Amino acid sequence: MKSSNNFKVLFIVSGLLLILSLSLSLINYIISLNSVQKELVNRALPLSVDNIYTEIQTHLIEPNLISSMMASDTFVKDWLINEEDNSDKITSYLETIRNKYGLFVTFLVSEKTKNYYTQKGFLESLDNNKTDNKWYFAFKDSAEEHEINLDYNSNLDNSLMMFINYKIFDSKYHFLGATGIGHKISYIDGMLKRFREEYKFKVCFLSEEGNVVLAERSQKHIQRIQEDPQWLKVKDDILSSSSKLLKYKRNSEEYILKTKYIPELHLYLLVEAKINDFTENAHQAFYLNVSISLFFTLIVTVIILLTIKKYNKTLSFMAQHDPLTELYNRRSFEDKMKYLHQLSKRNKEPLSFLFLDMDNFKHINDKYGHSVGDEVLKRVAEILQQHVRQTDVVARWGGEEFIVALSTHLENAQKIAEKLRIAINTDIVLNELVEEDVTSSLGITACKEDEPLEHVIVRVDNAMYEAKRSGKNRVISL
């Protein structure tokens, strides 16, 4: 869904929720104690379920985006495909993500080697015969591209942990492995306690098999739905993907149960209320609950609105751009390249491609370190942007390779490429970074009429490699 649609739905829901809250508040000033059950059914329970669901979603947004970003990161994909023998690079990457976002753990699993890495380095090689490793193989065989798991960490004060796993695919959608994060979510137990003490609601979460996965840890609770005869009678309604409102008696007391399926966690949220708890001071309790609910709803609405706006913008940028150089990434460039190619054919205008590869870049990384190598790539990206027009498209193809789509003839593309070669070779910033000559090899070619794009890319790539074979630091056109 587009961001504008997200905001539209949010505003509609918030507006309807506010209107409903005000209407119910007015109505409850004139109703009697006999209205308690009606209000509990139509207002208090549904709103509490929505508030819990909204609070959980709020805490899921950032960790989910982080895991998604890691899975789509071209660095991670390139490392899995070409550089897995260099574990220090992925360890540093995972450590950076963990420290930046304050996570408990960041991890990556290679499908090729089955090696499991965290921010502390290589941990183990996964084996399907090991109980603790089965999560990966089950996730790999599932149809889902990501999953969220909850578990108690016995090695960390038995704290509740949320693990968000994402599958990693290459450009041809081949499965490369899995990556994700682990995050402490101890706030859930506090939230359950708060809803019991302040609102007299008993809250728990059931798995799709009917087992109690989460409940307030200080309170005694059943372990599975079969242990409660009343819940067992309405098991099919409880374990339904649609929200349900159920009534029943237990030990001569009347209860109301509101359910909601949470697809992000594959869990069912159950909020149970004993009607007798709400008969005393019904009006006062209602007014207090409505006030708190209104305030909480407004705050959550504002938080979600700001969060959606921020992360939609960030996610859109990250999906189209290389995180290091902030140039277009390869996938985004390929989309724009197809558009430029069609436009060129329709308007009968020239279109050329320039492919640039940094000479001896591995030597720079080995001698000066990857941080300096990254700065070199960032500076080269700046030089590229400075020497092309706004109508041209510049992208990082991968590693130390860059590609430019030029709306011009081959002769002019030759001049631009030569200027770029000289600019890189004589750039003061680059020379200060590595204290030696920095050179590049460039290949250029022009699109021929009715020629497939694949042929053009192969030709410009061959031109670049011919520049390499001819001694580097030069421009070759084919």
pLDDT tens digit string along 149-163? 877 655 545 567 888
Residue 330 scores a pLDDT above 80: yes
Query: What's the rounded Cα separation, in Å, for the pair 179 and 60?
Result: 16
Query: What phi and psi, each to the nearest 5 degrees, are found at residue 186?
Result: -65, -15
Two tokens at 478?
């084919």
Q: Which domains does the chain have, with CATH numbers?
A: 73-184 (3.30.450.20), 330-477 (3.30.70.270)
Instruction: For the chain, give the mean pLDDT.
Output: 85
Residue 3 scores a pLDDT above 60: no
Does residue 64 or residue 382 have the better pLDDT?
Answer: 382
Strand segments (E) across 8-145: 105-110, 115-118, 121-125
Residue 275 scores a pLDDT above 90: no
pLDDT at 44: 82
Query: What's the rounded Cα separation, in Å, for the pair 196 and 273?
Result: 9
CB 320 within 8 A of CB 327: no
Residue 291 scores a pLDDT above 80: no
pLDDT at 156: 45
Mean pLDDT on 340-346: 82
Banded model confidence at residue 144, pLDDT cuts 50, 70, 90:
confident
Mean pLDDT on 305-327: 78
Banded model confidence at residue 25, pLDDT cuts 50, 70, 90:
low
Residue 238 scores a pLDDT above 90: yes
pLDDT at 235: 93
Neighbours of 439 (CB within 10 A): 15
Residue 115 scores a pLDDT above 90: yes
- Winning range, highest mean pLDDT, from 93-97, 276-280, 408-412: 93-97
Does residue 372 or residue 53 have the better pLDDT?
Answer: 372
Mean pLDDT on 355-381: 92
Task: Encode 157-198 in three state secondary structure.
Answer: CCEEEEEEEEEEECCCCCEEEEEEEEEECCHHHHHHHHHHHH
Mean pLDDT on 394-408: 91
pLDDT tens digit string along 411-460? 999 999 999 999 999 999 998 898 888 999 999 999 887 788 888 999 99
Question: Helix axis angle, 370-386 relative to 361-368, nearest 10°?
Answer: 140
Banded model confidence at residue 59, pLDDT cuts 50, 70, 90:
confident
Mean pLDDT on 110-115: 96
- Winning range, highest mean pLDDT, from 19-23, 28-32, 462-466: 462-466
Helical (H) or strand (E) element with 379:
helix 370-386
pLDDT at 478: 85
Nearest to 184 by CA among 136, 151, 214, 218: 151
pLDDT at 27: 66
pLDDT at 170: 94
Q: What Rg, from alpha-carbon coordinates, does the chain have?
A: 29
Query: What's the rounded Cα separation, in Å, for the pair 107 and 97?
Result: 10
Banded model confidence at residue 168, pLDDT cuts 50, 70, 90:
very high
Does residue 316 or residue 76 have the better pLDDT?
Answer: 76
Mean pLDDT on 245-258: 90
Which of 215-219, 294-298, 430-434 has the weakest average pLDDT?
294-298
pLDDT at 46: 83
pLDDT at 1: 47
